[in-house]
Structure 1
Amino acid sequence: MTRTDITHTDITSALTDLLLNPEITLDEAADRHFAPEYRQRTDGSWADRAEFLEHIAHLRAVVDHGSVEVHEELTGGELYADRHTVTVTKKDGSTVRMEVYLFGEFAPDGRFVRIEETTLMLTGSEADRNLGSARA
């Protein structure tokens, strides 16, 4: 049974809080958008919530600013899918642009419990190719 009174998060809100909003801590952003049992597969590699947060901490250390543009977004019950582009300018001044194809699942409270995504680098250096899953 699907509940219609639960507000779900979305990728724009989640990525903005995680990467682009210095006013919110990483833990606050994660708790707002990701369930405790969250796990993610990016380009074939699985990460649990702790590994995912290690990845985001690394990105926070290298990203200066950026934006998220959602091209398509679908929600049906507990399922979520989108295609979005993330553009970031790193602290070294270089720009990385990645298109992401994402399928996800919501926990009963509306936070993400699982995301599986494939990334396609549109702009950036060869060293940035793994930015979607890089850790320190």
Structure 2
Amino acid sequence: MSHTPRTAAQPTDIKSALTDLLLNPDLTLAEAADRHFTPDYRQRTDGAWADRDQFLDHIAHLRTLIATAEIEVHEELRDGLGYADRHTCHVTKKDGTTVTMEVYLFATLSPDGRFHRIEETTLMLKGSDTDRTLGSAR
């Protein structure tokens, strides 16, 4: 997957953020997070809030599970510091099983273009019952 690094003049987007967090071996988790998320970042996934540290625990856990992934963005909207999208994550786990999740996301960006807050709802399209919490597992 090709990826152009985000610059201060270019706001982030969910595909770039997830690619750096999960699929870019050249970036540490901290580097990827600093590139796309503010220090006071918060996220609500399927009703459960996580602060930045809890979010990074979640991503660290996913890094141990995911072999490959493709992020397919269907719609993406920006309005000032508002951001919304609908995307599908096609994941192949290290054990060879696959998971497909559709995500409805609403976010607030900081003035420097990084995510400040995300609220999202996930819908599992393919996977086992144990994969239902993949969007928030730690």
Whether these two folds match at TM > 0.5 is yes
Aligned to 2:102: 99
Q: Which amino acid aligns with 1:23?
A: D
One-letter identity of the residue aligned with 2:42: R
Q: Which residue of 2 aligns with 1:124?
A: 127
Aligned length: 131
Structure 2 residue 54 is the aligned partner of structure 1 residue 80: no
CA RMSD of aligned residues (A): 0.9
Post-superposition shift, 1:7?
1.9
Match of 1:35 in 2: 38
Q: Where in structure 1 are there 5+ consecutive unaligned residues?
A: none
Output the TM-score relative to the length of structure 2.
0.93
3-state SS of paired residue (1:22): coil
% of aligned pairs identical? 70
Letter in 2 for 1:129: R
Provide the rounded CA distance (Å) in 2 between the counterparts of 1:105 and 1:17: 19
Deviation, 1:23, is 1.6
Unaligned runs of at least 5 residues, structure 2:
1-7
Q: Aligned equivalents of 1:9 and 1:127: distance in 2?
A: 31
Give every structure 1 segment of 4 or more consecutive aligned residues whose post-TM-superposition deviation is greater than 4 Å. none
Residue of structure 2 equivalent to 1:61: 64
